[in-house]
Structure 1
Amino acid sequence: MKSLTSIIPAPPGWYARWRFGTHRTVTYPITTWALARDTGSEHTIVVGVDTNGMWPGGDDERPGGEFLRYIYEPIEAGTPDDVFNPVKSPADLASVG
């Protein structure tokens, strides 16, 4: 189990991409960067906590979610095609992929 030990705000443009199922990815903006430490260890890694509250190694990741990678898109490039849109209805989200 990992615990977060230090948190700083993430600059705009950073995203975490997750896979749900075989053909569906969802990208969430990163809200903060954090240091995560394994329980009982001095090993520390940097993780991005996204707008869904997920981070690689967290105990409360969404079921079926697999972290793929962090990506950076400059603001002028826009957002990734699969970025999470909280305005979409659950039916719209179910039809993706």
Structure 2
Amino acid sequence: RKYTPEFCFDTNLYKNIVVQSVQTEVDSGFEGRDKIVLVEAKNSYTKNVIIRQLYYPMRQWYIYTQKEIITLFFEKRGDEFLIWEYCFKKECKI
């Protein structure tokens, strides 16, 4: 678990939302030479996901490194394993 540095972002409804010192955790993370992969995993069918579980860690590592950040959501549904990659638009700068 880590705490975010200060960053801001926009949504469709609100502009320049400022976040600072929010606790984050990822279920798994992998670092290569040029990329970091962050994984959020669920062990059963998920009807909805709190997007900040994916977004805040991505923004946090985006600030900490110059490497490309890849954000994955992994879900186990019975005998199936599903993986989605989440991409976000460029962000505002503080």
The TM-score range, normalised by the shorter chain, is under 0.3
The structure whose RCO (Cα within 8 Å, separation 6+) is larger is 1
Greater fraction helix:
2
Give the alignment's TM-score, normalised by structure 1: 0.27
Give the alignment's TM-score, normalised by structure 2: 0.27
